Amino acid sequence: MAVPLFATTLEPHMPAIAERLAAVARGGRYILGPEVEAFEAELAEQLGVRHAIGVANGTDALAIALRALGVEPGDEVVCPSFTFYATVEATASIGAIPVYCDVDPETMCVTAETVRAAITPRTKAIVAVHLFGNVAPVPELRELGLPVLEDAAQATGARLGDVRAGALGDAATFSFFPSKNLPCLGDGGAVTTDDDAVAQRVRRLRFHGSDDKKTFVEVGYNSRLDELQAAVLRLLLPELDGWNAARRAAADRYAAGGLGDHVALPAPVAGAEHVHHLYVVRSDRADELAAALAAQGIGARGYYRTPIHLQPATAGFAPAGLELPGTELAARTHLALPMGPELTAAQVDETVAAVAAALG
């Protein structure tokens, strides 16, 4: 049978979505209206933070949050190289200097040790990426004495112990791109924080650097979550925990079905409740396996084969001779297999059988 890489659909929610969108359209408030205000309050409550501020997308969220944390042009920001390009792009876009650190190739997240090795007297912040739905060890990172920004774009709803991703660091950023665990129908993002001053500056920066729409005190952004997307997100937010539970159930079935006999299974950070935005395994034969699965109609993909420190636009930030062995191993060996709240037991079993056949 064909098995999609992303086993998710909004089809059951489409009648309610259409009704909600029509209501917003009739209401005539499209920018920073009641839907955005209500979603911000509901997201903050679910995550357990004082503030959630909607912005246009996850990349803007990163740039705005870094500036709100006090990062200025010329400052250094420690970032993993094994991540989506936007993590580093946002850092460079505000004139800061990304300093690449390594990751643990098993969890694919940064550690206190890999971050400490990259810190210099010019470091002003750390970006901890909760990659693929795992949760980086933020409490350990905060002990390093620098502001920690969580890039939680791939981990909405995840936890470390009893604390949700987004409530662990000095601030956090989210993306609601349609493939994410909490999706909207286009671009959308948010910044979360418990710091009143950080929240105030995020709100100012998202609206052209103004607090009152009359006086512009700094150069900001035109980056607002719009009412239509907020209305959809309000409708879907109550589904998030159930969807994530279904993702974990699929991951458990992969493990129970013997997938670990053929590939290395995802390894949660100690104490983390993984939400499997992507179900990423590891194998020295990852590309061979991807081709074999594709031939049988089973979705599989390597995401970050070329890490950010080797990308054309951002390689210049890497010092000569930089060695990131964990990053290079993760980049070469990782492979995303089918995952999503709609993934059936039969599809999991089909995938496990296909992996076993491909790797012998």
Q: Are 324 and 339 contained in the same domain?
A: yes
Q: What confidence score (pLDDT) does residue 360 get?
A: 83
Instruction: State which H helix or E strand residue 21 sits in.
Output: helix 14-27
Pair 113, 90: CB distance under 8 Å: no
This prediction's pTM? 0.95
Same domain for 263 and 126: no
Pair 180, 63: CB distance under 8 Å: no
> Are both 299 and 184 inside the same structural domain?
no
CB 300 within 8 A of CB 293: yes
Structure tokens at 354: 């296909």
Tell whether 172 and 229 lie within a shared domain.
Answer: yes
Q: Which of 221, 238, 255 corresponds to the end of one domain?
A: 238
Distance CA 107, CA 132 (A): 10
The answer to whether position 315 is within a domain reads yes
Enclosing H/E stretch for 114:
helix 112-116
219 and 79 in a common domain: yes
Do 94 and 43 fall within a single domain?
yes
Supply the CATH number for residue 158's domain.
3.40.640.10
**If the chain, 360 residues long, is cut into consecutive pieces of 10 residues, what is the mean pLDDT of each piece?**
92 96 95 96 98 98 98 98 97 98 98 98 98 98 98 98 98 97 97 98 97 94 97 98 98 98 98 98 97 97 96 96 97 98 97 96
Choose the final residue of a domain: 184, 213, 238.
238
Looking at 238, 260, 284, which one is the last position of a domain?
Answer: 238
CB-based burial, 22-37: b 16+ in 10 Å, e otherwise: eebeeeeeeebbebbe
Please count the structural domains in the chain.
2
Q: Are 112 and 141 in contact (CB under 8 A)?
A: yes
Residues 137 and 23 in one domain: yes
Same domain, 144 and 228: yes
- pLDDT at position 1 is 75
Secondary structure letter of residue 319 according to DSSP: P
My answer on whether 182 and 228 are in the same domain is: yes
The range of the structural domain enclosing residue 66 comes to: 11-238
Report the DSSP pairing between strands 76-80 and 171-175.
Answer: unpaired
- CATH number where 296 lies: 3.90.1150.10
The answer to whether residues 204 and 104 belong to one domain is yes
